[in-house]
Amino acid sequence: MAVEAKSLSTPIHGVDDEEAELREQLMFDPRPREELNRMVMESMVHTTPRYWAVVAFLAVVVLVCLFGAWGYMIATGIGLAGVRKPVYWGVFIVTFVFWIGISHAGTFVSAILRVFKAEFRRPFTRAAELMTTFGLAAGALYPLIHLGRVWVFYWMIPYPNARWLWPNFRSPLVWDFLAITTYLLSSTIYLYLPLIPDLAMARDRTKGWRHAVYKALALGWRGTEAEWARLRKAITIFAFAIIPVMFSVHTIVSWDFAVSQTPVWNSTIFGPYFIVGAILSGVSAVVTILVILRATLKHMDYFIRKEHLDALGKLLLVFSMAWAYFFFNDYLVSWYGGYEAVRKVLFFHSSGPDAWIWWSMIVFNVVIPWLTLWNRRIRRTPWVMLIITLLINVGMYFERYTIVPMTLAHQRFPFDWGTYVPRIEIIISIGTLALFILLYMLASRFIPMVPVWEVREGQEAHMIRQIGKARVPTVSELE
Amino acid sequence: MPRDIVHLALFKEEQLNEAAEAIQVLREMGISDHEISVISGAPLQEKMLGRPMTWTRIPLIGISGALVGFLTALFFNFGTPLLYPIRVGGMAFQTIPTSFVTIFELTMLGLLISTFIGVFVETISPSYGPQGYDERISDGYIGVLFSAPAELDARMHEALTALGAEIVHRAEAKKLWLF
């Protein structure tokens, strides 16, 4: 078959509608590497007084709501929280599960899409990876906060006490510690490795303290064949290895509940159900962040385009359906079993005093995505996607709230039923949300938010082939 | 014996074919592959430039780390209960199903951390090829670094400039990291 291939790396004379449409895609709208570097550097150093005002506000919120409230709780006692018999796991655990879920986005977007060579991932892998790292950092605080007596946190670390008694490695709480530590370390490294060439690029373009920091972090990168080869090899190992780690982390979080004898929690499907929910909430958060980055960072509208929101919107629709499938599967089998305590809890979820939370979860996680995300125009409208993805994350938070305190409040014996009203937990949770946003905003000034070399590599790989009378976009295998 | 001078031939990013040809020309002048190094702002497969495959110990280091993690997990699961045995009625003293979780996590932790350590150590280790750098590399330029005896200067200059290269004679190694 006779084919003719041409790159779109140079402007084409007589651009027709078809090519103009192609140029709406980042991979078919290349710019010289020097210009891409300049755009990314400008997005990092260009700040406005409004940016610093927001940073200062968030810093105050973190100080007051997170460290202030937490410090007050440590000094006064865990009684400041709303947890009491029968609900000993409240918003701290809900928020912990929420942040660990959010952290799945980076690995999903970066590792799974990398393994499957999904080209649209290229400009926003770093934004997603950063979310993983900061989401985990926020989530990892909660086991400490939930401890109450945080000064004995080191009891979680696997080492023997004075009598050579070790922690119980059969406990899901120890599994949690190991899984979160593994995931936090590996996702931080996975963020750092592809960053090295971009740090070297930043090193070559900066002076003063920025230059010193980038120089130290770039590890003397020159871009030799050996350096690229080992980077490629390491990224490949990470991409394949971090996927099962990601699955294990949220599965283990789900086992915190599922290995108990508590009605509704004791479910064999909790592992995959939690993972699908985590990916749904994580990918939603990625879209939220991309829309905000696109609107606030200079030149980001070149890198983050409607095509990316479109692609992620389709993924969201698929994961919303998958979440609904697992939810229904779990619900139906539990309900059908006819075990009275289980049916009572399920009935309490959907018709008790907090039933609005359960119904909101259904609306935000299923009804809204299904009614909207099938539409291409909606998927390509940033402000609508912002609202939808924020609502999905509210829905996912409600899902965890339903699973944890709403379930515990209505267990086997009626004399043991109770209500849960979160108190200082709300303030501390707001503090960690502010911490996440603050870390992200600060990172956007120091870390190149777009992996320039990956984008450029992708643009080099994309060509137009003339097959018969049709011009077809194609991708060469350069990786 | 005086050391050969290191030169850097810079090609623009769209001149990949010319860079590959330049490497062939240098080879024909008698400069061996280990005296040539290519630096670039984006990854280039060795076969694109007709270069020998680069070898790395990263997978080996990663597997070694995974083994260390695996053995640590075995000790945690099956060794630590023996150090201070507490036998609980109705519960097995050693269990295999629950040990899979710890074994998996620590094996993966060992694999991933040692892979990173491998990258770190190999990156900061001294390399023996021709040194030299130019900031334009991160702007997409392809640099062909090579060391050549002085008597080849004129021929090399003529051949490479004909291919469109910008040549930096006496390219110097720059201090790009802390040490």
A444 touches chain B (CB under 8 A): no
Do A458 and A122 touch, CB atoms closer than 8 A? yes
Q: Which residues of B touch A162 (CB under 8 A)?
A: none
pLDDT at B2 over 70: no
Return the structure tokens found at A381: 């409208």
Distance CA A188, CA A195 (A): 11
**pLDDT of res. B171:** 67
CA distance between the termini of chain A: 25
**pLDDT of res. B179:** 61
From first to last of the 479 residues of chain A, give the pLDDT tens digit.
Answer: 444 445 554 544 445 677 777 778 888 888 999 999 999 999 998 888 999 999 999 999 999 999 999 999 999 999 999 888 889 999 999 999 999 999 887 777 788 888 888 888 899 999 999 999 999 899 989 989 998 888 988 887 888 887 778 888 888 888 988 998 999 899 999 999 999 999 999 999 999 999 999 999 999 899 998 899 999 999 999 999 999 999 998 899 999 999 988 889 988 999 999 999 999 999 999 999 999 999 999 999 999 999 999 999 999 999 999 999 999 999 999 999 888 889 999 999 999 899 999 999 999 999 999 999 999 999 999 999 999 999 999 999 999 999 999 999 988 788 888 888 999 999 999 999 999 999 999 999 999 999 999 998 888 888 888 888 778 888 877 66
A216 touches chain B (CB under 8 A): yes
Q: Which residues of B touch A34 (CB under 8 A)?
A: 139-140
Q: Which residues of A touch B39 (CB under 8 A)?
A: 222-224
Return the structure tokens found at A323: 């979440």
- State whether B137 and A223 contact (CB < 8 Å): yes
**For testing the chain A interface, which of B119, B128, B142, B168 should be mutated: the one with the most A CBs within 10 Å?**
B119
Distance CA B119, CA A11 (A): 39
What is the predicted ipTM?
A: 0.91
**pLDDT of res. A7:** 52
Measure CA A118 to chain center: 18
State the smallest CA–CA distance between residue A139 and chain B in angstroms.
Answer: 19
Of the candidates B157, B132, B172, B177, the residue with the CA atom closest to the CA atom of residue B36: B132
**pLDDT of res. A14:** 46
Q: Which residues contact A406 (CB under 8 A, 6 or more apart)?
A: A348, A349, A352, A354, A357, A358, A420
**pLDDT of res. B4:** 67
Tell me the per-residue pLDDT of B125-165, one tens digit each, with 9 for 90 and over: 877 777 888 889 999 899 999 888 888 878 888 888 888 88
- State whether A237 and B83 contact (CB < 8 Å): no
Q: Which residues of B touch A226 (CB under 8 A)?
A: 54, 56, 122, 127, 129
At A298, give phi and psi (nearest 5°).
-60, 140
**pLDDT of res. B178:** 65
Q: In what order do the strands lie in the sheet with A3-7?
A: A3-7, A462-467, A470-475
Q: Which helix (H) or strand (E) holds B5?
A: strand B5-11
Q: Which residues of A touch B137 (CB under 8 A)?
A: 222-223
Distance CA A67, CA A14 (A): 61
CATH of span B5-55+128-168 = 3.30.70
Tell me the per-residue pLDDT of B3-23, one tens digit each, with 9 for 90 and over: 567 888 999 988 889 999 999
- State whether B51 and A225 contact (CB < 8 Å): yes
Do A123 and A308 touch, CB atoms closer than 8 A? yes
Sole residue written with tokens 């080992």? A230
The sign one gets for the Cα dihedral B155, B156, B162, B163 is: positive
Q: Is B88 helix (H, G, I), strand (E, B) or coil?
A: coil
Give per-residue burial for B107-140: e unless 16+ CB within 10 Å, then b: bbbbbbbbbbebbeebbeeeeebbbbbbebbbbb
**pLDDT of res. A405:** 94
- State whether A32 and B46 contact (CB < 8 Å): no
Q: Which residues contact A345 (CB under 8 A, 6 or more apart)?
A: A263, A264, A407, A410, A411
Tell me the per-residue pLDDT of A149-186, one tens digit each, with 9 for 90 and over: 889 888 878 888 877 788 888 888 889 889 989 998 99
Distance CA A434, CA B111 (A): 34
State the smallest CA–CA distance between residue A6 and chain B in angstroms.
Answer: 13
SS3 sequence of chain A: CCEEEEECCCCCCCCCHHHHHHCCCHHHCCCCHHHHHHHHHHHHHCCCHHHHHHHHHHHHHHHHHHHHHHHHHHHHCHHHCCCECCECCCHHHHHHHHHHHHCHHHHHHHHHHHHCCCHHHHHHHHHHHHHHHHHHHHHHHHHHHHHCCHHHHHHHCCCCCCCCCCCCCCCHHHHHHHHHHHHHHHHHHHHHHHHHHHHHHHHCCCCHHHHHHHHHHCCCCCCEHHHHHHHHHHHHHHHHHHHHHHHHHHHHHHHHHHCCCCCCCCCCCHHHHHHHHHHHHHHHHHHHHHHHHHHHCCCHHHHCCHHHHHHHHHHHHHHHHHHHHHHHHHHHHHHHCCCHHHHHHHHHHHHCCCHHHHHHHHHHHHHHHHHHCCCHHHHCCHHHHHHHHHHHHHHHHHHHHHHHHHHHCCCCCHHHCCCCCCCHHHHHHHHHHHHHHHHHHHHHHHCCCCCHHHHHHHHHHEEEEEECCEEEEEECCCC
**pLDDT of res. B133:** 87
Distance CA B36, CA B32 (A): 7
**pLDDT of res. A329:** 94
Of the partner residues A34, A166, A478, the one whose CB lies closest to the CB of residue B140: A34
Percent of chain B at pLDDT > 90 equals: 36
Q: In what order do the strands lie in the sheet with B36-40?
A: B36-40, B142-148, B5-11, B166-168
Q: Is B168 helix (H, G, I), strand (E, B) or coil?
A: strand
Of the candidates B9, B56, B2, the residue with the CA atom closest to the CA atom of residue B36: B9
CATH fold of A49-159+173-462, please?
A: Formate dehydrogenase/DMSO reductase fold (1.20.1630)
For every residue of B110-160, DSSP letters joined together read HHHHHHHHHHHHHHHS---S-----GGGGGT-EEEEEEE-GGGHHHHHHHH
Do B11 and B146 touch, CB atoms closer than 8 A? no
Angle between helices A424-446 and A69-76 (to 10 degrees): 140
Average pLDDT, chain B: 87
Task: Supply the pTM of this predicted model.
Answer: 0.90
Name the band, by pLDDT with cuts 50, 70 and 90, for residue B83.
confident
Distance CA A91, CA A400 (A): 9
**pLDDT of res. A15:** 53
Q: Is B34 helix (H, G, I), strand (E, B) or coil?
A: helix
